[in-house]
Structure 1
Amino acid sequence: MMKSMVAIILSFFLALMQFVAPTCAGEKRTDKVRLPAVAGSFYPDDPATLKRIVRKYLTKADGRRVSGRIRGLVSPHAGYIYSGIVAAAGYSQIDQKIRTVIVLAPSHHIAFRGASIPEGLTAYRTPLGDVRLSTLAFRLRHSPGFTSVPQAHEREHAIEVQLPFLQVALEMFEIVPILMGSIDPEMLARAIIPFIGKNTLIIASSDLSHYYSYNTARRLDRFCNEAIPAIDFSKMALCEACGKLPILTLMHIAKIEGWKGILIEYKNSGDTAGNKDRVVGYASIAFVEDVRSEARRAKIRLKSEEREYLLQLARSTITARLADKTPRLRELDSPGIKEMRGCFVTIHKDGHLRGCIGTILPVQPLCQCVKMNALNAAFNDPRFYPLRKDELDSIQLEISVLTVPEVLRFKDSDDLKRKLKPNIHGVILSRGRNRATYLPQVWEQMPTKEEFLESLCRKGAMNSNCWQDKDTIVEVYEAEVFSE
């Protein structure tokens, strides 16, 4: 009897072990697959039928053809007989080189705060197979604003219905499934941007107006179809969409990255498979990368007159504030200072730091960025008392114009040190809600990479060895630095 019990317990233990797999970070977790919730209702549950129907939609898809590479896509999430042909108009034009797809979707069933990436989940399953979660999902979950609400993902269709189109349109890819609860879309956009690689596609899953008459729906949906591609946030107040927060997040990303919006296709259920009394609207809207978007990630080179003007702008702005006057400086008609850029303004006095504040992401024109951060460095740096008028003649101003930060991929701490370039890379370390950066010129004060990274960890109120932690996100950027 005892031997039988031991055999049963041992068999049970071995059966459990079959489900255990190591993660890329060396931890162990139980593989968990999210099963289809709407197969057989929103789309066919038979694999052959599903693949045939999706291919048919992709082949017959109409709508506007876009020039340029699609980086973001607003796509509907209704049953395929209603919205499939509209979704296909966008998916038929995505780049085959896409390897990571970030899907932003609303939570229709469960309310929560934050943006949810399900913890422990390794794949989403459809009748066409399993779609693995990208390792990016595990890293992004530790960023500010993110949480894990697994039960919200279980019944949610808004992510699931996008996957068969992606499985047919792309050769291989992984996903980052994000359900949005109550969260600031601009904050979420800024959290996602550092993780966007050249082969990343972002999907905002959303239908438009619900259950109006045909003509009323077309009139209401026009607000969305005009505001979204124009990245017009003020007009979005009139847009009715169940995935409005995902759409707004994608719009913020597109604005910062310099992507151009294009309405590809619009229909409602009265055009596809339903009656015209109570319809739902669907749109496929692309955000396309152009040459200027690549330039933002490239090395920045300003003209000499642009550099001189920005330094004059910074000093005149500080001087005017101390005199309680409006700055008077001729406007320079030059495209370089009007580009969306991130920047830092640093103040030195007698060879010592007197203030330094900046904006990492390109959220405003460079001239505005310099004005704002000149004032912040002079009067709002919490490490120093506000600048006094009698100090004006003894300070020196320095401006750093930044490239867009990118996540640095590395295998371990030794690999990280090999990839970091002293005096070239500015570095951002993020772990949970803690975040800190050093500009490239700070390398001059740190003789070794270890000292640089440990100091940056401490600056962000993190353990001095945080840079060796797998949960710490490392981003790098470059800067064009010039001073008076």
Structure 2
Amino acid sequence: MKKILIILLLMVLLGCQTQVVEEKKVVRESAIAGSWYPNSEEEINKTLSNYFNNVEDAGLENIKAIIVPHAGWRFSGRVAAAAFKQLVQHKKDYNTVLILGPSHTSSFDGASIPNATHYETPLGLVKVSDKTKQLLAEPLFNSYNEAHKKEHSIEIELPFLQYALSNFEIIPVLIGPRTTVDEINSIASTLKKYVDNNTLIVVSSDFTHYGPRYGYIPFTENVSDNIKFLDSLAIDRIKAKDAEGFAEFLSETGATICGRHAVLALLFMLQGEDITPQLISYDTSGNITGDYKNSVSYVSMVFTEPKKEPLTKDEQEFLLKLARDTLNYYYGLGEKPVIDESELSPNLKKIQGCFTTLNKNYNLRGCIGHILPQEELYKCVMDNVISAAVNDRRFLPVRADELDDIKIEISVLSVPEPLEFSSGEDLKNKLRPLVDGVVLRNGMRQSTYLPQVWEQLPDKELFLTSLCKKGGMREDCWKDTSTKVSTYQAFVFEEE
């Protein structure tokens, strides 16, 4: 009996020892909500909605990094929003955001990561990635916790990210003001190991700080133009991805770019990469207030990778020939040809939505497709090229003697994503002409226009009104918030 009790006691003790202890939540509380930006969820969303609706979506894809300012929102909010707006259509592409910023309150050497599991803003908690634990074991990485308590350069960007993206974690890194160029290069090499295809890099930095408040008065005449010129020199070196040139520029001019070390780290990380930098927005506090005695410059830049085509040139040519052969076969024998799948590439056998468009003498002759993925791409093309020829109710069936005059166009579609909107005006602001295909659904009725239709209907209101009519809905159905809207993109190619 004693042995049984001892065994049971050991089992209990061992069981207790193997229980997983949940990590204690350590929250870095907001230090600037209510002063640098609004302190309520409602006000933040209202402010950001206004910013985002009044900046252009440039239709950029494969965004790898952005540079954004970090002043109070009333000064730099619109410039920052211009870069963050570019992320909205790709919100599911990122699960980690590496944020690089300067320390304004503490002087140290190297990189610092906060001793925190979460950052807090009025929009909720943002989880700090577990990758930070590995980073702290790397050379030049430490945790100077005091530096993070009041620092605004990271926190100021978080509500923008919470508004623009879906689920993400952050790697918050401050680079100390005493860090040398060689050390920044080493920090960049380390950080690069923690960046994958689902990581966005955000560099938080204001640019020229001019005036007695900042101890920087390199000129006293034509201040506005000279500030702009000085900033352009920095921007040109960033566009060239010239880390050494940027470092030389800082040394020669003494330029007061507060996040210069973070910018330099990004440039070192991008060396040898096929990345294209682009200036999105620029302003100065002097321009905003009308007072250039003291002025801070604000810059938004976006860094993109080359667009990855979903199909190779050979695959495009195969599908166009397949569509043409399918039409000829159908009109000759009344059925589809049989295809040997073993000879097809994986892309051609991928379940994907597609549309097939028939044009005759530059006029539409038929267009039918599947918005949602239903079957292998090659089958989608075969089925829809026949349907476009004989089942498009807007036209009489294509005659056999017309086939030589028909030009085939194929659109391979991304999966539609729901687009939330608060009003008709909000919907118009969120749509991107020539980029977005649009699906409207109201009750049991539904209609879609491919992105190419924007070429004929470039006005957003006319585009949406026509789309409502196409589906047999009220012509202003797009203003009704009960209407469900989805957007998708198309990869389009056609016969020569």
Find the counterpart in structure 1 of residue 233 from structure 2: 223
Matched AA of 2:52: L
Measured against aligned partners, the alpha-carbon deviations of 1:57-94 in whole angstroms (never above 9, x if no partner) come to 112124x8263311111110001111111111110002
Whether contact under 8 Å (1:257, 1:293) holds in the other structure is no
The 3 A distance-change label for structure 1 pair 152 and 291 is same
Deviation at residue 275 of structure 1 after TM alignment: 2.3
Whether contact under 8 Å (2:110, 2:184) holds in the other structure is no
1:245 to 223, 237, 261: 261
Q: Aligned runs of 1:114-193 on 2, under 5 Å? A: 114-119=110-115, 121-181=116-176, 182-183=178-179, 184-193=183-192
Measured against aligned partners, the alpha-carbon deviations of 1:167-216 in whole angstroms (never above 9, x if no partner) come to 10011111111011133221111101121121100011100001244233
Q: Aligned runs of 1:67-146 on 2, under 5 Å? A: 67-94=60-87, 95-97=90-92, 98-119=94-115, 121-146=116-141
| SS of structure 1 residue aligned to 2:63 | strand
Whether contact under 8 Å (1:258, 1:292) holds in the other structure is no
Find the counterpart in structure 2 of residue 288 from structure 1: 304
Residue identity over aligned pairs, in percent, reads 36
The 3 A distance-change label for structure 1 pair 293 and 141 is farther
Find the counterpart in structure 2 of residue 317 from structure 1: none
Matched AA of 1:160: E
Measured against aligned partners, the alpha-carbon deviations of 1:410-433 in whole angstroms (never above 9, x if no partner) come to xxxxxxxxxxxxxxxxxxxxxxxx
**Separation in structure 1 between the aligned mates of residue 306 and residue 289 of structure 2, nearest angstrom:** 36
Whether contact under 8 Å (1:82, 1:274) holds in the other structure is no
Which deviates the most, 144-153 or 27-36? 27-36
The 3 A distance-change label for structure 1 pair 246 and 292 is farther
The 3 A distance-change label for structure 1 pair 226 and 166 is same
Matched AA of 1:100: T
1:196 is the counterpart of 2:212: no
The 3 A distance-change label for structure 1 pair 256 and 190 is farther
Matched AA of 2:99: V
| SS of structure 2 residue aligned to 1:56 | helix
**Separation in structure 2 between the aligned mates of residue 135 and residue 143 of structure 1, nearest angstrom:** 14
Matched AA of 2:268: H
**Separation in structure 1 between the aligned mates of residue 273 and residue 141 of structure 2, nearest angstrom:** 22
**Separation in structure 1 between the aligned mates of residue 237 and residue 281 of structure 2, nearest angstrom:** 15
Find the counterpart in structure 1 of residue 207 from structure 2: 208
Deviation at residue 126 of structure 1 after TM alignment: 0.7
Find the counterpart in structure 2 of residue 51 from structure 1: 45
Matched AA of 1:219: F
Q: Aligned runs of 1:266-305 on 2, under 5 Å? A: 266-273=282-289, 275-290=291-306
Find the counterpart in structure 2 of residue 362 from structure 1: none
| SS of structure 2 residue aligned to 1:96 | helix
Matched AA of 1:199: N
**Separation in structure 2 between the aligned mates of residue 275 and residue 293 of structure 1, nearest angstrom:** 48
**Separation in structure 1 between the aligned mates of residue 60 and residue 40 of structure 2, nearest angstrom:** 35
| SS of structure 2 residue aligned to 1:44 | coil
**Separation in structure 2 between the aligned mates of residue 27 and residue 178 of structure 1, nearest angstrom:** 27
**Separation in structure 2 between the aligned mates of residue 146 and residue 292 of structure 1, nearest angstrom:** 35
| SS of structure 2 residue aligned to 1:171 | coil
Instruction: Number of aligned residue pairs: give it.
Output: 268
Segments of 5+ residues of structure 1 without an aligned counterpart are 1-24, 295-484
TM score, norm. by length of structure 2:
0.51
The 3 A distance-change label for structure 1 pair 107 and 39 is same
Measured against aligned partners, the alpha-carbon deviations of 1:341-376 in whole angstroms (never above 9, x if no partner) come to xxxxxxxxxxxxxxxxxxxxxxxxxxxxxxxxxxxx
Deviation at residue 223 of structure 1 after TM alignment: 1.1
The 3 A distance-change label for structure 1 pair 141 and 70 is same
Whether contact under 8 Å (1:259, 1:293) holds in the other structure is no
Which deviates the most, 121-130 or 249-258? 249-258
Matched AA of 1:238: F
Deviation at residue 286 of structure 1 after TM alignment: 1.4
Deviation at residue 250 of structure 1 after TM alignment: 0.7
Deviation at residue 26 of structure 1 after TM alignment: 5.4
Whether contact under 8 Å (2:285, 2:296) holds in the other structure is yes
Matched AA of 2:280: I
Matched AA of 1:173: F
TM score, norm. by length of structure 1:
0.53
Deviation at residue 29 of structure 1 after TM alignment: 4.5
1:42 to 24, 33, 36: 36
Whether contact under 8 Å (2:60, 2:86) holds in the other structure is no
**Separation in structure 2 between the aligned mates of residue 243 and residue 177 of structure 1, nearest angstrom:** 14
